[in-house]
Amino acid sequence: MTEQSEETLPVVVLGGTGRVGSAVINELTARRRPVVAVSRHRATAQDMPLVTSRAGDVHDLREALRGIQAAAVVIAVTPFTAPPESFASFDTDFYTHIVNQLQVLLPAGTRVIDVAVTAIAYLEDGSTVSDHEELFPARLRPFSRAHARGADRLGISPLNGTVLIPAAGLGVQDSTTVSQPTLLSEPVSVEDVTAAVDHAALARAVADQLAVTTPGAPRLLVRTA
């Protein structure tokens, strides 16, 4: 049996029907990369050239990933379509559970890109964005904490992970023009975390990072160049 090359194996996108997931799929297919799009309801993620859609619950990914030899996985899933009125019942280990499953279901060293939130970025004074209510609403901190825990778990897992942190202006200037992403290592400035980045530029950053081997799950802020 002839082994498939890395370029012909599919990239699994968790959260394939969300804005980030959809942008990532568009970028990957433009590069002729096959994709498996996993979302809560397969009916909302119809198959198109190079894309196979699967229904999947992120609380149990076994069926969604069954039979797939993945080149990489992109975590672009959110636990809600809009922030809830209360986080009293929210599981701050939401993303940790996803990473825990992936390290069981995937071979060690599989490339995993975790698209996080601006709130987890470390600033130059050692604080995080979520520490500053003028930058991130205090009531949303449980969501930020969930992302931070997931990123930390990825960093100590046997997976080959990278955490991409979009700047706070994600989607504010989405357009049809081609913009290039700039990737910055932490700590970063307030100017950088509040900068604009469009979904297409973020998707390009994700696709570019798939080919990079970076042990320890480095965290990179993504803003528009």
Confidence of residue 62 (pLDDT cuts 50, 70, 90): very high
**pLDDT at 159 (0 to 100):** 95
Task: Domain count for the chain, please give it.
Answer: 1
As a whole number, mean pLDDT of residues 104-132 equals 97
Backbone angles phi, psi at 153, to 5 degrees: -65, -40
User: What digits encode the pLDDT tens for the residues 151-186?
Assistant: 999 999 999 999 999 999 898 766 666 689 999 999
Judge whether 140 lies within some domain.
yes
Residue 175 domain-assigned? yes
Least confident of 27-36, 52-61, 120-129, 208-217: 208-217
> Is 6 within a domain?
no
Is 92 inside a domain boundary? Answer: yes
User: Could you list the residue range(s) of the whole structural domain that residue 188 is in?
Assistant: 11-224
- Report the CATH number at residue 177: 3.40.50.720
Question: Which pLDDT value is given to residue 214?
Answer: 74
Residue 75 domain-assigned (yes or no): yes
Residue 4 lies in a domain: no
Asked if pLDDT for residue 46 goes beyond 90, the answer is no
Burial class (CB in 10 A: 0-12, 13-18, 19+), 185: exposed
Show the beta-strand stretches assigned E in the chain: 11-14, 35-39, 51-55, 72-75, 111-115, 160-166, 169-170, 181-185, 196-197, 219-224
Query: Is residue 2 one of the residues assigned to a domain?
Result: no
The mean predicted confidence, pLDDT, of the chain is 91
**168 CB-near residues (< 8 Å, 6+ apart):** 118, 129, 135, 193, 194, 195
Per-residue pLDDT tens over the stretch 77-112: 999 888 888 898 999 999 999 999 999 999 999 999
Domain membership of residue 102 (yes or no) is yes
